[in-house]
Every structure is written in structure tokens, then in C-alpha cells.
């Protein structure tokens, strides 16, 4: 899959950051584009690259993930459980307004774009409240945690623990 499946604004972010299109960069982006909910740790990206037959030096991969995050192509969040960062495909400018849902079981992340209208209204109220208190908000992110449809046990199957 070519990286020209990258939305134009991400393409622009890649170019602005001056990131060279190395094979590793391409393969990493392909992995994230193939599954937009994927939010692996560094070690999981490493494993996925290796199972695809590409060996990348651990430090090089770490730097690459960092640079992709700095360039705004990936976002990263600390994962307390594994004590490492989890990376996921950054939201497009339109999606960034939408609340994020994270499954605590499989760590997949979804943008709830269907809810962006109502969450935008809620966001405005929050910003108004902050401004009223004299605070200057820069960024609002709504995150919802739970269990995704794929991780919920079916009725006749007990939940795995
Ligand atoms: Zn899940």
C-alpha cells in the first residue's frame, strides 16, 4: 500500500517535518494506515515490522516514532500498564474535534465522529466556563474509556480475566 493513501494534510505534515521517505518510515505508516484503531507500543511496532520481514534498529525505530509524533502524524499517550508510550494515527483536523474512545482491554482507539456536533457544544461550554474563571485553555480533548464491541464477551461466554 503506497503512502499516497495518506490524507493530504498528513502528507503536508510529513513534508513540513522534513522526514525522509525511508523504507522504515513508509512501512511504519502503512501499518498504522492499515488499521486506524491500532495503538501499539514501540515494542509492538517493532514486532509488526519484523513479522513483515523488516528489521529496524530499536533506537532508530524509537526515534522514527518520536519524529512522526512530533510531526503530528502520530499521537502518543502514556500507558500505565506497560509503562511505555502507545502510538496511534493522529486525528485529521476535522476528527480532532471528535471525542476519542479507548478500549481498556485491547487499547484500540476510535474517534466518535458521529458525536462531534454535540461534543463541540459541550467543548464550547467548558471553554466558556474556563474563560469565566480567567483560565486560558489551549486544547480540549474528550476521551472515553471502556470496552469495545470486539472485546465484550458474548452472552454465553464468560468474560476472560
Ligand atoms: Zn477492545
- Please report how many Cα atoms fall inside a 13 Å half-sphere around the Cα of residue 157, on the Cβ side: 7
Which pLDDT tens digit goes with each residue over 126-148? 888 999 999 988 777 788 999 99
Angle at alpha carbon of residue 97, lines to 130 and 111, rounded to 5°: 130
Domain with CATH 3.30.1490.190 in the chain: 92-152
Closest CA to 30 of 20, 19, 18, 38: 38
Residue 49 Cα to ligand 1 midpoint, Å, equals 22
The answer to whether 36 is annotated as binding is no
Closest CA to 112 of 68, 75, 145: 145
Rounded to two decimals, the pTM is 0.67
The answer to whether 151 is annotated as binding is yes
Enumerate long-range contacts of 48-56, CB under 8 Å, 24 or more apart: 49/24, 52/27, 54/23, 54/24, 54/27, 56/24
The CATH class of 92-152 is alpha beta
Which pLDDT tens digit goes with each residue over 21-69? 788 888 998 899 888 889 999 999 999 999 999 999 999 999 999 999 9
Domain 1-90 has CATH 1.10.10.10: yes
The answer to whether 103 is annotated as binding is yes
Q: How far is CA 136 from the centre of its chain?
A: 26
Residue 152 Cα to ligand 1 midpoint, Å, equals 7
Burial bucket for residue 20 (CB in 10 Å: 0-12, 13-18, 19+): exposed
pLDDT above 50 (res 3): no
Residue 109 Cα to ligand 1 midpoint, Å, equals 9
Domain with CATH 1.10.10.10 in the chain: 1-90
Residue 35 Cα to ligand 1 midpoint, Å, equals 13
The predicted model gives 74-79 an average pLDDT of 90
For strand 74-79 and strand 84-89, is the pairing parallel, antiparallel, or unpaired?
Answer: antiparallel
Amino acid at each position: 500500500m503506497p503512502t499516497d493513501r495518506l490524507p493530504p494534510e498528513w502528507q503536508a505534515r510529513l513534508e513540513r517535518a522534513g522526514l525522509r521517505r525511508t523504507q522504515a518510515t513508509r512501512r511504519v505508516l502503512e501499518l498504522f494506515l492499515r488499521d486506524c484503531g491500532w495503538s501499539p507500543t514501540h515494542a509492538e511496532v517493532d514486532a509488526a515490522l519484523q513479522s513483515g520481514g523488516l528489521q529496524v534498529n530499536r533506537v532508530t525505530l524509537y526515534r522514527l516514532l518520536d519524529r512522526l509524533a512530533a510531526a503530528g502524524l502520530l499521537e502518543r499517550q502514556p500507558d500505565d500498564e506497560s509503562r511505555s508510550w502507545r502510538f496511534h494515527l493522529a486525528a485529521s483536523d476535522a476528527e480532532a474535534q471528535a471525542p476519542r474512545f479507548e478500549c481498556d482491554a485491547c487499547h484500540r482507539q476510535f474517534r466518535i465522529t458521529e458525536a462531534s456536533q454535540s461534543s463541540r457544544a459541550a467543548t464550547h461550554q467548558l471553554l466558556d466556563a474556563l474563560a469565566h474563571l480567567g483560565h486560558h485553555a489551549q486544547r480540549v480533548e474528550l476521551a472515553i474509556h471502556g470496552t469495545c464491541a470486539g472485546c465484550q464477551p458474548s452472552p454465553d461466554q464468560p468474560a476472560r480475566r
